[in-house]
Chain A
């Protein structure tokens, strides 16, 4: 499949409006405005587009849930918080192809009956914010945004809001709270944002990549889009391959592709000729896959069948120098730091998981610590307010499942069993 989303990212002017207009820019929006909003939603439903933010929820269905009977205004909130470890695809899209996102926002607004979209962008993405703001200003100047878009009578405003730099702000309800000027802590669901969202008004929260696919669907048709991938996994997909590979980067492919092809062919395979020990296919928040599972189809359904989740499609590749206790400790260092602190099991539990993992890694653990790890994880997973809790315990639970022997070796030997020069590299980041 030839790249669609990232086709022009290497062109020096790919982020300018003129370039965009020379390459079918805003044709999707034009087509959308000629349809009824419900027809746009129907198209997106038929295309089989699934959310690229992590959960893979069908986008058309999400839009349909947006409460049309409410007397309140409706909103689109674009999730550009991209903070999942090993995930950097939205950044590329916004930096190199900002108009695709803006066009996607406008079509989404039209479809759900909103007239305002907020792009909630990660705190650290300052220069991307500037690019987006320039793009938005140009779009207003040429009548693609603002009052009476393209003479259709449809009004649409797009604003960029930069967060303060918190992973949890990417959770959709925490994002809404943060947009409202509050702490980025998630709300209880239900009610879902589609009914009670931003300022308590119906809101659809969509990932950047998700919205970028929308103009393609409108321009090329729903059937075309669906045909690009396996059933229910239509359209192009961006994969972020990182870790111990030769050519880390963003790769666009049909979801027909396998993990092996992405890692070995596109990213050049493990560096230094080493052996791959494990792959986390969806950032850091999903179960670990083993080397014998590399032929898994890298689609939402394929990865799920293999016992993990595609998540944000951040493929973190780990070679055999990786200490799995260190890995868990490193990730828990992240989760402990990023827990929003709202609910007790996650706030207190991630801290204990981290402390216990660190003491095992340093050779100070005891066998009963392994039971503590399991029981704390059991108190967190599935019991917390948001999915962060499940994500946080996944490295521990799947680590213990596949690499229990490595944990036990740390405890028995009182030190990391891997060669010392490997360990030296491994401690980076854990403090």
Chain B
């Protein structure tokens, strides 16, 4: 059931410029053409009784409670399925209508237990509301004969229950699963009175195709589908609107709270990114915030071989500050650095980079975006001028041909995937470019028109071939290019891609994609109306990641697919605030708003505002920090809410670097992998415990609001202030809104931002300034941010990582729906019911020649290291390619990934590692060492002296 404070209009909003005027109960009403009578009535506060209608689903017309009378028409049309018409006169109340509605209600009650007082939905049940409105509490038929009241409750899903006895067969759940989520896991089984809701082929929810998005629970008008947390904790007493802390979709939620405890995360129907939908992580997996593993007391220790000592905040902060100053005195100003987090708020990220630049006095700040989307920044900045996706999510509803490349939206960006699937079911064409057969290739009512199963590491060759077809077959939009792009750069690019060596036929040997398929995909994208490209880390995490992003921008420009709704270049950002952390100046060479530290005008502005001199030379990138640590010139690191020891490639290299440092300060919710190498631990605060903003993949800045008190007493931005003050650089903010004011003051694309405006509009897409006071849903309209768009020649340079005789397979990595990145949060929730370990997918052919069967333990070896994982034999991967996830630290997927990286941005080449696999029967040596090390570190956590609580 939707959030308590929401008023349901019954049927979806209709956007039509034409309006219709009718009369409802004597009152004239004007609404857009195509609106239902029900919604028109709601607009004048006439609430027509209803049970099967809800405004997130198409009208269904099944409960027959909403019948009305229309003058001059015979019968009693259902107001949810009858559209308004000019001049009609509708009556929503009459003795006859009341009688009919009571008759229907009586039929409901004849098959529904009448114990509302003890029901968890009491006071929030539409059946109860309707019965009360119609003044009915029981039925005349008695309860004799067969009914549904003894059917057992399905409690298999960890988060919600299904009680068929309470079900009124309104099909809202089934329709939500179809229309909103697009999984088609539910159906009504049987006919007539035998009709019942069934998951898959009458299976328990957990065993069914259900992905636990909660859309059905949200849609259910009764207690039949209910969150377990509501059953356990009871009805919430208030709701706080906030933004999800998981992926880059940035769903808006109403956190419903009782006695300071979150009872439910209800997706916000007014949320601009999610329109009332959510996924299993955001909706249900919030239990980590109160997990006993949370470390809530500051701790310090002299070396990583010592137990932790619990200390007061003052002591911990002073210790860290003193250490940092000592290290700088001994090894130089540049010997320390900081890592802000893509999970923390914009305000927090901004403060960390400010701390590094102003208090550390260097530019050694870098972010995890380095390891995911730095090529996006580089590629888009150089071609079209702005380092961000060009569209709003809603734009996909106007796309005609959609390319999804190196992304797996149904797992990684589930709520956007649902919207994308909705568009595909409306008939848009789909081209999937991925070495794996991701779910979108074939899923209920959707089938990709082309799946280009590219060999890992050859994206650029493939895209050059696509461009070759478009150019040589004359499918480019010459007028658009002439008007909007640098024509010289275009001509050079044209000549380059037209070279015969870039043809699909010539490149097929390296890409492994049939030329005919490439030609078909190219023609489809270039000719079928609005072409939109969505891509993920399968594009960026390559040695040619930046080149690939340029390939995409080139193609979009050449086909005129930029600068309006329905088109565009859309990086699907991984984490909740990865866009924001980049925007906020977390890179060593850029201030907020992507302005180079070397630009004197910009730097002077910051120096004036911050009252210190700033460095004009870019600082160290993450991998350079680790290298410097290994050669002894980099000794101190402040890590806020990140875990490079698990998430960065070549784990053994990273941990060696961390171990070589003298003061590692980790601020986090849990003792994560990096914290095991730390000297100071500062307890972090979860997104439920703080105020601030997140920026999602569509540049949408949304408010994060404090739902409960920070467990350790401080929000993360407050801790950064404490550290800065202790370092002698004063930071005094009373509220994150003051930090936002500073961001706005110093960053032109944020100039128009205030918290007051965010509260008013709900969310705002940057740029937001005088030119666009309410934000910018679509960028590059009329003109590129850069001015003229610039084409780049994108020569294919194969990665040095290649399948060899010793390492004949290519490993690529990704993630699953129920786990989030390094898993620190989701592993501490009931989501482990779906995924409890990383697994290695291998093609049946490769498995067979190695004697590997489904479920066998296999050893995976690259030139960096080796690990052991259970095998899944599947033809989702092509022969020669294996695939795994990186959610569980024990499996150590990044032990085998290499130090290879993007030529322009150092983004690691996670997506291609040459490996060999063999059947084994025990964990790898690294895994055993890691297990021992972890056990010892956990022992240290218990063993510390408690000086202050």
Contacts and interface: CB of A to CB of B under 8 A. Distances in A.
Given A183-B187, A337-B192, A339-B193, A345 B107 contact: yes
Nearest to A342: B62
Interface stretch (B16-24, B139-147, B632-640, B776-784): B139-147
Interface string A307-338: 00000000000000000000000000000111
Interface of B: 51, 59-65, 67, 75-76, 78, 81, 100, 103-104, 107-108, 110-111, 140-141, 144-146, 168-169, 171, 187-188, 190-195
Nearest to A385: B61
B325 to A, nearest CB: 70
A409 B140 CA distance: 23
A352 B109 CA distance: 12
A345 B104 contact: yes
A378 interface: yes
Most A C-beta atoms less than 10 A away, residue of B78, B103, B168: B103
Interface string A232-266: 00000000000000000000000000000000000
Contacts of A344: 51, 62-65, 104, 107-108, 168-169
B191 A348 contact: no
Contacts of B140: 372
B188 A385 contact: no
A347 interface: yes
B193 A379 contact: no
Given A344-B65, A372-B141, 5 more contacts: A338-B191, A339-B191, A345-B64, A345-B107, A385-B62
Most A C-beta atoms less than 10 A away, residue of B108, B192, B193, B194: B192
A337 B191 CA distance: 7
A341 B174 CA distance: 14
A323 B100 CA distance: 31
A382 interface: yes
Contacts of A188: 59-61, 78, 81
Contacts of A362: none
Contacts of B75: 382-383
Nearest to A371: B140
Nearest to A168: B191
A73 to B, nearest CB: 12
Contact of B107 (A166, A168, A348, A382): A348
Contacts of A338: 191-192
Contacts of A342: 60, 62, 171
Contacts of A152: none
Interface in A179-218: 183, 188
Given A188-B81, A352-B107, A379-B103, A384 B192 contact: no
A375 B106 CA distance: 11
A341 B188 contact: yes
Given A342-B62, A352-B110, A383 B100 contact: yes
B136 to A, nearest CB: 13
A340 B192 contact: yes
B192 A350 contact: yes
Contact of B192 (A345, A347, A376, A379): A347
7 contacts: A338-B192, A341-B192, A344-B63, A344-B107, A347-B169, A347-B193, A350-B193
Interface string A119-143: 0000000000000000000000000
Interface of A: 166, 168, 183, 188, 336-352, 355, 372, 375-376, 378-379, 382-385
Contact of B191 (A340, A375, A376, A379): A340
A343 B61 contact: yes
Most B C-beta atoms less than 10 A away, residue of A342, A345, A350: A342
Nearest to A166: B191
A168 B63 CA distance: 18
A397 B263 CA distance: 51
A384 B192 CA distance: 13
Contact of B141 (A350, A352, A383, A384): A352
A390 to B, nearest CB: 10
A350 B193 CA distance: 8
A331 to B, nearest CB: 14
Contacts of B64: 343-345, 383-385
A185 to B, nearest CB: 8
Contact of B67 (A183, A347, A383): A383
A340 B171 CA distance: 12
Contacts of B141: 352, 372
Contacts of A384: 64
A340 B189 CA distance: 10
Contacts of A375: 103
A250 B111 CA distance: 43
Contacts of B144: 355
Contacts of B103: 345, 375-376, 378-379
A150 to B, nearest CB: 33
B193 A336 contact: yes
Given A336-B193, A343-B64, A379 B188 contact: no
Nearest to A350: B192
Q: What 5 A-B pairs are tightest by C-beta distance, nearest first?
A: A341-B195, A379-B103, A339-B192, A351-B193, A348-B107
Nearest to A184: B191
Nearest to B190: A341
Given A344-B63, A383-B67, A351 B187 contact: no
A4 B568 CA distance: 63
A338 B191 CA distance: 6
A375 B141 CA distance: 11
Nearest to A351: B193
Nearest to B59: A188
Nearest to A190: B83
B423 to A, nearest CB: 15
Contacts of A376: 103, 107
Contacts of A341: 169, 188, 190-195
Most B C-beta atoms less than 10 A away, residue of A168, A188, A340, A348: A348
Given A337-B191, A340-B191, A341-B191, A379 B107 contact: yes
A349 B140 CA distance: 13
B867 to A, nearest CB: 44
Given A336-B193, A347-B193, A355 B145 contact: yes
A376 B60 CA distance: 22
B76 A348 contact: no
Contact of B195 (A345, A347, A352, A385): A347
A344 B66 CA distance: 12
Contacts of A345: 64, 103-104, 107
B280 to A, nearest CB: 26
A168 B192 CA distance: 10
Nearest to A349: B107
Nearest to A343: B62
A369 to B, nearest CB: 10
Nearest to A392: B192
A337 B193 CA distance: 7
A168 to B, nearest CB: 7
B185 to A, nearest CB: 15
